[in-house]
A and B are shown apart, each in its own frame.
Chain A
Amino acid sequence: GQNIDQPTEMTATEGAIVQINCTYQTSGFNGLFWYQQHAGEAPTFLSYNVLDGLEEKGRFSSFLSRSKGYSYLLLKELQMKDSASYLCAVDDDYKLSFGAGTTVTVRA
């Protein structure tokens, strides 16, 4: 089976940086995705990592270590609109297995 762990909740201040960790144990690995989901809405794609290292995309960056089964999503210069759930998903056998999601609350 798949085991994907991420913290349930995180709180941070507007303008700050938050790092959301994701650890995984899966039978296969074809890449790792991060999605953002605002309350009551559909998940939307943020990033994809398949090789070790950091992928930077504006205020958001994602890191992967395949040997450690570990990824993180880094959100910089937090804005109120970043309050959402962040979902870590591992592509195993060309199907996605999702973590339960991390709810990030940004406070003024």
Chain B
Amino acid sequence: IAGITQAPTSQILAAGRRMTLRCTQDMRHNAMYWYRQDLGLGLRLIHYSNTAGTTGKGEVPDGYSVSRANTDDFPLTLASAVPSQTSVYFCASSETSGSTDTQYFGPGTRLTVL
């Protein structure tokens, strides 16, 4: 079944550790996104990629980095995790970055930084 997968499902991480959240889609979508979702704040865009080989900063990029080596994968790295990065992280993709294209979301990764 086509869709987006994320790994891990959940993770507890010590502050200062490095962590990579994985995201893979098999829909051959050009655009991919990373969001974090916090209670009362809604979804906030961290980084995005309009096509393989390009990335851009969203609303809350500090402390995060991404890469887009190919169409299918869009990993999110926390170089040195801090407690304020405790959140639920969602990866999403859309056929293009055009305004009419629906974004499809992965199941999310629940990250706790202690």
Contact = CB atoms under 8 A, between A and B. Distances in A.
Interface of A: 4, 30-31, 33, 41-45, 48, 50, 87, 89, 91, 94-101
Interface SS of chain A? strand
A99 B42 CA distance: 6
Interface stretch (B14-22, B62-70, B71-79, B101-109): B101-109
Nearest to A40: B108
7 contacts: A42-B105, A45-B103, A94-B99, A96-B43, A97-B59, A98-B43, A101-B42
Interface SS of chain B? loop
Interface residues of B, number: 23
B108 A96 contact: no
A100 B42 contact: yes
B58 interface: yes
Given A95-B45, A98-B43, A100-B41, A48 B105 contact: no
